[in-house]
Amino acid sequence: MAYLHELEANLSPANFSEFLAILEDFKYQMLSTEVVVKRVQAMLAGKPPSLVTGFNIFLPIDYHIKPQRFDVAMSLVKKIRQRFEATDPGVLSSFVDILTRFQADAISLTETRSKVRALLQGESDSLADFDTFLPPAPAASSSSQSSSSSS
């Protein structure tokens, strides 16, 4: 329900009505999953990435939508710049530095997540976008000892 309220706040009334019609047609199998995914992706283009990933609750797992990573990254950098430029400009440069180090394999995915969580503490929307941007955490993250004893 929270997702639908967020969606309604971000779409025009006509687009929100169209979205509900798509869901209804999907429920009654009048539209294939592929068609639903394409229509919703087009409708949500340029909207916050959380709206795209939030739609996945309506889809079978094999059809989950992954936002374009570049779009997510640019949206996140823009959001961080707008939020911190006047009050704490070092946040943006630290964020970019962390991502640069991750891209260069200088720090692990786990360390990257940890550093960004500390940097953006309390910024739940930015952290959600960041989680969408990063590759998924390894499934066996709780048993990290098995991967460290490979020599």
CATH class for the region spanning 2-63: mainly alpha
Residue spans of the domains in the chain: they are: 2-63, 69-133
Q: Which of 112, 119, 114 is nearest to 135 (CA)?
A: 112
Token couple for 126: 């930015």
Q: Which of 108, 87, 79, 125 is nearest to 95 (CA)?
A: 79
Q: Which of 64-73, 128-137, 139-148 has the lowest mean pLDDT?
A: 139-148
Cα dihedral sign for 112, 125, 93, 44?
Answer: positive
Average pLDDT of the chain, as a whole number: 82
Q: What mean pLDDT do residues 82-108 have?
A: 87
Write the pLDDT tens digit of every residue in 46-74.
788 788 888 999 999 888 887 666 567 77
CA–CA gap between residue 7 and residue 128 (Å, rounded):
16
Q: Which CATH architecture has domain 69-133?
A: Up-down Bundle (1.20)
Whether pTM > 0.85 for this model: the answer is: no
